[in-house]
Structure 1
Amino acid sequence: MRTVIRTFRWIVPAILLSASIQSVEAQPASLPPQSRLTLPWTRWWWIGSAVDEKELDISLKMLKDAGFGGVEIAPIYGAKGYESRYVSFLSPRWVDLLRHTVTSAARNDMSVDLTTGTGWPFGGPQVARKDAASRIIVQQYQARGNTPFSAQIKVKEPKQQGAVLQALTAYKGDERIPLMDKVDKEGNLKWTPPAGEWEVYALFSGWTLQQVKRAAPGGEGYTLDHLSAEALPVYLHRFDTAFKGKAPGVRAFYNDSYEVYNADWTPAFFTAFEKNRGYDLRKYIRELASNDSTDLVCRIKSDYRETMSEMLLDNFTRPWTKWAHGYKGVTKNQAHGSPGNLLDLYAAVDIPECETYGSTYFPIPGLRRDSADVRNVDPDPVMLKFASSAAHVAGHPLVSCETFTWLTEHFKTSLSQCKPEVEQAFLAGVNHVFYHGNTFSPQDVPWPGWLFYASVNFVPTNSFWTHVGGLNSYIANVQSVLQTGTADNELLIYWPVYDSWKRPKGKDMSLKVHDIDEWLYPTAFYKQVTALQKAGYSLDFISDGLLKGADVANGEITTNPAAAPYKVLIVPKASLIPVATLEQMISLAEKGATVIFESLPGDVPGLGNLEARRKEFKALLSKLSFKEDNGSQQVVKRGKGQVILSSNVQAALENQGIARETLADQGLRFIRRKDKNSTWYYIVNHTPEKIDQTIPLNKLATTAVITDPISTQFGAIRVSERNGKKAVRLQLLPGQSLLLQVGATLAAGTPQWTYLDAPGNPLTLSGPWQLTFTNGGPFKPADRKLDRLASWTTLSDTAANAYSGAAVYTQTFNLPEKAAKEYVLDLGKVHESARVTINGKDAGIYWAIPFRGRIGAYLRPGKNEIKIEVANLMANRMKYMDQHAIQWRNYHEINFVNINYTAFNAADWPLQPSGLVGPVTITPYK
């Protein structure tokens, strides 16, 4: 691990951080400089790799103009009827197109990432069966004592012919006899067992036979054996040959979530197991195949899973990363779904990447969430923190996220629904967002162009495309802060993975996003983490492996020279902890750290050398002579530090003077970044209530500056005292967020922040409105005057019912005098986003709840003109197309499915409200 981290620290500044030198946007003085890194990036599906230079240039320019900083090329299956345009993956023509893409992107101040394969997971035509994903095949036979037993031990599954017999063991009670030496070359066993009834277990090394999912032309074939040290070089050799030793110029090589189904073996597993665990697994095939919850089965399963984790890390993740470094690139990896320790796997790559899949419920008034349009999977912020924790602990500057996967049903996602979902990722430590996603589509493909089946379609044909820059600008502003300095988290939480690995059910244990109700939710770790976060503590997770490299400086725990230190290590309830881990925890205390155990562990995991390890374990615990302290905890001093035992972890933290952020009591959520002499807060209100309070903050200094990350308006605020702590006043409506920098020297001319106090009587822009349809289809509705605002689907115009696109609402109004300190425009209900122009000046994109903005700078006394360009969803036009059987979805493989993975058809959808509903008001604040 240390070698990997050291390599990363030298390579990344040249490859990743150099992007920050090239500023891409004018940035307000209150925020850090922007770059292509601070902008959101997008996964970019190449349908059939049917790309060419001209269309690539056009597409990249459109993405750049919309506010994207980079693309992640993901070649997949093709569209029917365009086969003549397909370009075979890694062919000379394909590589030339890749190099052209890199050059064209650079001209647009963008970067390019590339998945190391097509579709997912890794695999292709270069993967023969010997290098393909493997699985265990176990067959049982019955044998009677003192009776000759004769059978051909051969795999029975027809598709598994050729599977190799690797173990043959007979069992009677606790007695076990290895029989491999009694099997001849043809697989025949002749054996006379001792007295009694015997079960004979045969283990074969077979194959999953899984093919690459959603493969692009030229990428079809078996899935790779990710556990095999021999298979990866064979797989990567195809890339070496295609690249001809010349780096392709991509920023990062990417690996999607681990979806290698049923891959629970590799031919070299027995050898690795005996080397790492110290005993022969061939003797325990019965226990490996069992689901009985005996202690022996649980220990065997734990050792098996730990070995698999090590093999995935050592035989795939680390060598793949080393290979990428050889091409002057870095690695970006989604470890979730892997049968291994997620923290170690995330930390071993340069950019750990998590994933939001599905839709989260937020109690923000007006935020649409139709149960029919969302999957029954909620993104979990604790799950997201595995990636960010690994990055923070290992000192990696970037944490990426595949964002918005299946956020809602196709064509029904608004930009306002994206905002709280991406905010939840930010709050979990993400600072490098990738949209899921954008599909390359040539200009001559009829509307809606080529689309991917599982995506929020961030494509130019989407009605919201002219407003997506609002979301992109917001993300860039937030990420400019979240990529600054280091994470400022005070708590380090040990993840007791062995408590999960001891589960008797199944064999491999893939830690999937979709299965967290099984492997994460029930744990004491999850309950402790969520309780601490709810209370207002900031934290990261650490694994046994990463903890080995931890040290102590000035009483704080350090994990990497590039990482921020932690004030305390917390060990949640854990029944099993390895001896080496417990030794390191005590050693950290002896060096001056504070270690808090919620309860003492009871045993060591695994089977090998068990009694000797138990003896060491008990000896370590016996040296912890705790004494009652403060009533709610027990303490033992160790060297310069201490070990605390307390069932009330929060009380123990309070006793140590480790303060929580009390803004959490109001339901506000936050994340902090430490940058030199200042601290940044990113604060979000996902509650249904307006927040207007003076709230203490732990890191406040004498200066503080608020920035609205949507409008970028900013100003200095007064720091006051409250109960002996520095405090600031925060005003946040439901759905709003802010950036707060404390401790920095105020730049000359920094304005004062205007709080919205003493509202005057609002001016209601009731009408008449001129409504003009500007850009959309399938038909252009008639322009008209409106006496009152309403959805344009209520206009008794069939063209308006089917219309998806933009329409402009125009009105003039009179402002007798401009006497207020600020004016706030409130658009009321908007379906779904709007761009406001006041007196010919762009007053911003109103794309998220609460659809309000400060407009005092744009108003003048007397006559004013306001134009509001509103874009609706794609849904009504898709409904029209399916009602009239207009062909638009015609793809190979999966074609196009709905959110429940059944055939997509929008014909029976209800009409989606569209346009400006209001009421539209302008409120003066004195």
Structure 2
Amino acid sequence: MNIQSIIKLSVFCFAFGNFSAQNPWPKTTETAKPWTRWWWMGNAVDEKGLDKQLTTLNKAGFGGVEIVPIYGAKGFENQYINYLSPEWMKMLQFTTNKAKSLNMGVDMSVGTGWPIGGPQVSEQDAATKMIVQTYTIQPNEKFVEKIVLKDEKQKNLKSIKLDIVTAYNEKNEAVVLTDKIVRDGSLNWKSGPGKWTIYAVFTGKTLQKVKRAAPGGEGYTLDHFSPDATKDYLKTFDKAFGNSNYGIRSFFNDSYEVYNADWTPDFKNEFKKRRGYDLSPYIKYLVSNEENEIAGRIKSDYRETLSELVLNNFTKDFTNWAHSKNSKNTNQAHGSPGNLLDLYAAVDIPESETFGSSIFDIPGLRRDSTDIQKSDIPDFNMLKFASSAANVTGKKLISNETFTWLTEHFKTSWSQAKPEVEQVFLSGINHVFYHGTTYTPADVPFPGWLFYASVNFVPENSLWPHLTGLNSYVARTQSVLQSGKSDNELLMYWPIYDQWASPKGKDVTFKVHNVEKWLQPTPMYENLKKLNKMGYSLDMISDKMIGESKLENQKIQVAKNASSYQVLIIPELMYLPETTLNNILKLAQNGASVIFQNEPKDIPGNFEVEKRRSQLKSLWNQIPFQNQGENVKIANFGKGKIVLSSDVEKGLEYLKIEREKLTETGLKFVRRQFDGGKYYYIVNHTSKEINQFIPVNYTGKQTTIMNSENGDFGVAQTKNNSVRIQLKSGESLILKNSEIADSSIPKWKYIEKTDSPIILDQNWQLTFKEGGPELPKSRSLKKLEPWTKFPEDSATQSFSGTGVYSTTLSLKKKNADDYLLKFDKLYESARVIVNGQEAGIVWSIPFEINIGKYLKKGKNTIQIEVCNLMANRIRYMDQNKIQWRNYHEINFVNIDYKAFDASNWKVQPSGLDGEIQLIPLYFSK
């Protein structure tokens, strides 16, 4: 064999041979790495700054950025660039070219600030509301008043029009008078006997403008219900982009926060076309405060119409437009009055968001009540609307705006971020966007430019040197969660008509911030919580999705290559469309298993009520239920089975649907299937250590344990469909259960015993490496102490940066399999260097790291580079009135949206405290 053949063979073996066999981790693509929302303040960017920040983000482990232009910093007005101007497009092209050279991706918002809108939104295309005026005609009285708009703010608008005029007598008999109004507002109609009330509905404007707009992005917010408004809005981007997408992977639309938008100029016609009747005779029931059956029915039809309009006239058009640019689109559907499942499913990348701080039982995890939002706790099941839509319809990526207002500014550690992002992963999301990073010019001093609602993922953050710990954890985890497809077994129908049928209020919006009103009180939510805790995996499904479902190998599947499901659950409800029940029965006829928690009581809406109600009853009566013991009725229906029971758990037992019993330990999991096996991502958010065999429903022929924090892996011990795991509180792991055993993968190292710990209670040297406002003096320590324990040195009280604790350790013998360096208290993260070799970053609870392979018998040097929070330096700056908050618009606020002032903060402990132990470990053989 000649030398060239040998070289080719060597390369082939490296690429496809032992390398892939020994390493079970999927490839870490730029999509698997975390991305960050990248605010361009005032669009005051230049090529040098863009180059520098992208390079810095890349080195820290980011896979991409999402450009969102916002308001600017004061004093930099001459550097502002107008949004979508030729100069702005030039900066965008530079950004995407540079990102491509770094193997990074770029997304961008289709607007500045939020919600979308801008100077291209004409008055006609602006967000629209109905304005209602009422008039009373007394018996035998001639009506002489003119029906004209009285609202002073609206009077000068050219797009205002009178849409509906309807009169009601005391018997609630309606007369539509819209065509009886002459041009000047006079009413050409003579009332009958008795008292009459006239309802006049005008098309008005919300007058809302874009919040936090960037230069060139100011203007009205968009009417999301109008196809013409959407089309007109996107023309501006067509003009700026031409035939190119400028390297944009996905165009992004932020959450729907269009306040009081409840109408559109063509609503009356759209309503009649979609609901089958004219709204005009019923307008009183929509706009008044009556709470009766007909009001509920009219409002249900009204809300369903709004939902269809935002789906068909905005969301789908937005998707089609992005595709015309050979790009994808990303959309946050929450906050809108639409069916969230259908809206999320209508885009390429559905995106949810977390806002605030979750509660975890992890000992040592800081959650100071003064530093968190009091009202906002991220809701796990709210996150599942986006992941459900993606899983059910076969979308590969589900994104999340992560860490918004996680804590008060400058007080978020990476250890606090970890369980929060894990909760996001457990909900089925696999593509997180940090919130976020602000572009800062090179000549702006500490703390740089900052956005008022974010965790500061910026190079100026004193914790930045250790961010690669969090980022590599996210990247490894997402590489798995983006592989294969979701493996949930249950589908839960969302009875949205029960929400829409409420006679209270008018439009119903499904926000992240009001789940306690529309989500948490529902039977569906109780089911989701209970079944998840029991170890069942669920996605939610809409009426539209049920109508698109087919049976594939006795499983329900909505779209080709999407996940398939064993059971459809219809939770307790009042209203179910007869069309949806018909579609459910077709699925059962073809082999589906269905559980009803109760018999549907009624059909929603006000069209042909008796006819449709009769159809619903007739369809239900086709199901040949037989009693099967207490609280369970069953029916064989075609090839399928239908169960009726208020106890869903009993129904699942009857259908022999297995749950994952591992949740009985308190562990949480999410499961994915790939060709030849399944992944389990397992997290310990309990307060205890789990060290036992845990049952899993699928083990395959080989189970490999994979550690996302450090990349370690090894073949697990298994017995009787159980896997042995060792997980301390706050830790996670991945099980890769494969049908093919790979003998090249080593065994997992289980800790079988430990020796007495060596306490590192010797002298330490403390020096300071980088940070400010100035480096404190070095000092010798007789015991470990935080550097903030020395108030006589004012520099230690105000310092944010990196302090280095150094010592020497003499090991008389080195006979353990490994040695665990365990920190008692760490404020906030540390890089550990042993004998000049980097052992890794300690950034998450439990604060510990294996360092055995770097130790030697005899003398060892240990350096611990600790980074603290930005808080102490910001406190110092506010106490000394050093100006750093200098922005237009909202400027800078604290977590309660009040003026930010850190001058009265307590000094945040910084450095090391308590004991450090070196624990000898012995692994199983």
Q: Partner residue of 2:198?
A: 200
Q: Partner residue of 2:588?
A: 589
Q: TM-score, normalised by structure 2?
A: 0.96
SS in 2 for 1:102: helix
> Aligned partners of 1:887 and 1:370: how far apart in 2?
27
Q: Partner residue of 1:15?
A: none
> Aligned partners of 2:851 and 2:21: how far apart in 1?
20
Stretches of structure 1 that go unaligned for 5 or more consecutive residues are: 1-20
Q: Partner residue of 1:555?
A: 554
Deviation digits for residues 368-412 of structure 1 (CA, Å, limit 9, x no counterpart):
001111002000010000000000001000000000000000000
Out of 822, 843, 848, the position equivalent to 1:847 is: 843
Q: Partner residue of 2:469?
A: 470
The amino acid of 2:616's aligned partner reads: F
Contact kept in structure 2, 1:78 and 1:891, CA below 8 Å: yes
Deviation at 1:811, TM superposition (A): 1.1
Out of 51, 69, 79, the position equivalent to 2:63 is: 69
Contact kept in structure 2, 1:703 and 1:718, CA below 8 Å: no
> Aligned partners of 1:218 and 1:695: how far apart in 2?
57
SS in 2 for 1:829: strand
> Aligned partners of 1:471 and 1:99: how far apart in 2?
30
Asked if 1:142 corresponds to 2:136, the answer is yes
The amino acid of 1:905's aligned partner reads: D
> Aligned partners of 2:651 and 2:615: how far apart in 1?
28
SS in 2 for 1:292: coil
The amino acid of 1:485's aligned partner reads: G
Contact kept in structure 2, 1:595 and 1:643, CA below 8 Å: yes
The amino acid of 1:611's aligned partner reads: E
> Aligned partners of 1:701 and 1:818: how far apart in 2?
38
Q: Partner residue of 1:888?
A: 884
Asked if 1:288 corresponds to 2:286, the answer is yes
> Aligned partners of 2:197 and 2:818: how far apart in 1?
83
More divergent stretch after superposition (289-298 vs 219-228): 289-298
Identity among equivalent pairs (%): 52
Out of 844, 854, 858, the position equivalent to 2:854 is: 858
> Aligned partners of 1:859 and 1:564: how far apart in 2?
48
SS in 2 for 1:731: strand
Deviation at 1:146, TM superposition (A): 3.2
Deviation digits for residues 664-707 of structure 1 (CA, Å, limit 9, x no counterpart):
11110000010111110000010111111211110112311111
Deviation digits for residues 618-660 of structure 1 (CA, Å, limit 9, x no counterpart):
1101111210125441111111011110111112112221111
The amino acid of 1:852's aligned partner reads: E
Contact kept in structure 2, 1:278 and 1:609, CA below 8 Å: no
Contact kept in structure 2, 1:146 and 1:192, CA below 8 Å: no
Contact kept in structure 1, 2:71 and 2:889, CA below 8 Å: yes
Deviation at 1:746, TM superposition (A): 3.9
> Aligned partners of 1:657 and 1:731: how far apart in 2?
30
Deviation at 1:28, TM superposition (A): 7.8
Asked if 1:625 corresponds to 2:637, the answer is no
Deviation at 1:444, TM superposition (A): 0.2
> Aligned partners of 1:27 and 1:44: how far apart in 2?
38
Out of 171, 175, 186, the position equivalent to 2:168 is: 171
The amino acid of 2:867's aligned partner reads: A
Contact kept in structure 2, 1:151 and 1:190, CA below 8 Å: no
Out of 49, 52, 56, the position equivalent to 2:43 is: 49
SS in 1 for 2:145: strand
Out of 263, 270, 274, the position equivalent to 2:272 is: 274
Asked if 1:773 corresponds to 2:768, the answer is yes
SS in 2 for 1:561: coil
Deviation digits for residues 444-489 of structure 1 (CA, Å, limit 9, x no counterpart):
0111100000000100000110001100000001001000000010
More divergent stretch after superposition (631-640 vs 90-99): 631-640
Q: Partner residue of 1:233?
A: 231
> Aligned partners of 1:858 and 1:913: how far apart in 2?
30
SS in 1 for 2:84: coil
Report the number of matched residues: 899
Superposed, 1:488-527 pairs within 5 Å as 488-527=487-526
> Aligned partners of 1:707 and 1:495: how far apart in 2?
35
Off by >6 Å, runs of 4+ in structure 1: 25-28
> Aligned partners of 1:215 and 1:311: how far apart in 2?
26
Deviation digits for residues 722-742 of structure 1 (CA, Å, limit 9, x no counterpart):
xxxx11112111101011111
Q: Partner residue of 2:301?
A: 303
Deviation at 1:591, TM superposition (A): 0.1
> Aligned partners of 1:203 and 1:380: how far apart in 2?
38
SS in 1 for 2:752: coil
> Aligned partners of 2:676 and 2:920: how far apart in 1?
38
Q: Partner residue of 1:245?
A: 243
Contact kept in structure 1, 2:82 and 2:88, CA below 8 Å: yes
Deviation digits for residues 501-554 of structure 1 (CA, Å, limit 9, x no counterpart):
112222111100111000001100000111000101001000001111101122
Contact kept in structure 2, 1:112 and 1:250, CA below 8 Å: yes
> Aligned partners of 2:628 and 2:553: how far apart in 1?
23
SS in 2 for 1:129: coil
> Aligned partners of 1:389 and 1:649: how far apart in 2?
20
Q: Partner residue of 1:598?
A: 597
More divergent stretch after superposition (605-614 vs 647-656): 647-656
> Aligned partners of 2:400 and 2:417: how far apart in 1?
14
Superposed, 1:288-687 pairs within 5 Å as 288-375=286-373, 376-687=375-686
> Aligned partners of 2:70 and 2:874: how far apart in 1?
24
The amino acid of 1:346's aligned partner reads: Y
Out of 257, 281, 298, the position equivalent to 2:255 is: 257
The amino acid of 2:137's aligned partner reads: A
> Aligned partners of 2:324 and 2:518: how far apart in 1?
37
Contact kept in structure 2, 1:290 and 1:504, CA below 8 Å: no
The amino acid of 1:65's aligned partner reads: K
Q: Partner residue of 1:811?
A: 807
Asked if 1:752 corresponds to 2:751, the answer is no
Q: Partner residue of 2:910?
A: 914
Deviation at 1:198, TM superposition (A): 1.0
Deviation at 1:663, TM superposition (A): 1.1
Deviation at 1:822, TM superposition (A): 2.4
Contact kept in structure 1, 2:555 and 2:564, CA below 8 Å: yes
Deviation digits for residues 275-318 of structure 1 (CA, Å, limit 9, x no counterpart):
00011111122111123321111111111010000000000000
Contact kept in structure 1, 2:22 and 2:744, CA below 8 Å: no
SS in 1 for 2:565: coil
> Aligned partners of 1:705 and 1:534: how far apart in 2?
25
Q: Partner residue of 2:149?
A: 155
Contact kept in structure 1, 2:676 and 2:740, CA below 8 Å: no
Contact kept in structure 1, 2:21 and 2:745, CA below 8 Å: no
The amino acid of 2:403's aligned partner reads: F
Asked if 1:786 corresponds to 2:781, the answer is yes
Deviation digits for residues 342-378 of structure 1 (CA, Å, limit 9, x no counterpart):
0000000000000010000101100000111100200
The amino acid of 1:458's aligned partner reads: F
Q: CA RMSD in A?
A: 1.3
More divergent stretch after superposition (831-840 vs 812-821): 812-821
Asked if 1:833 corresponds to 2:829, the answer is yes
Deviation at 1:748, TM superposition (A): 4.0
The amino acid of 1:870's aligned partner reads: V
The amino acid of 1:793's aligned partner reads: T
Contact kept in structure 1, 2:22 and 2:745, CA below 8 Å: no
The amino acid of 1:298's aligned partner reads: G
> Aligned partners of 2:176 and 2:564: how far apart in 1?
51
SS in 2 for 1:126: coil
Contact kept in structure 1, 2:406 and 2:455, CA below 8 Å: yes
The amino acid of 1:575's aligned partner reads: M
Contact kept in structure 2, 1:38 and 1:480, CA below 8 Å: yes
Q: Partner residue of 1:14?
A: none
Q: Partner residue of 1:730?
A: 725
Deviation at 1:117, TM superposition (A): 0.6
| CA separation of 1:772 and 1:810: change in aligned 2, threshold 3 A | same
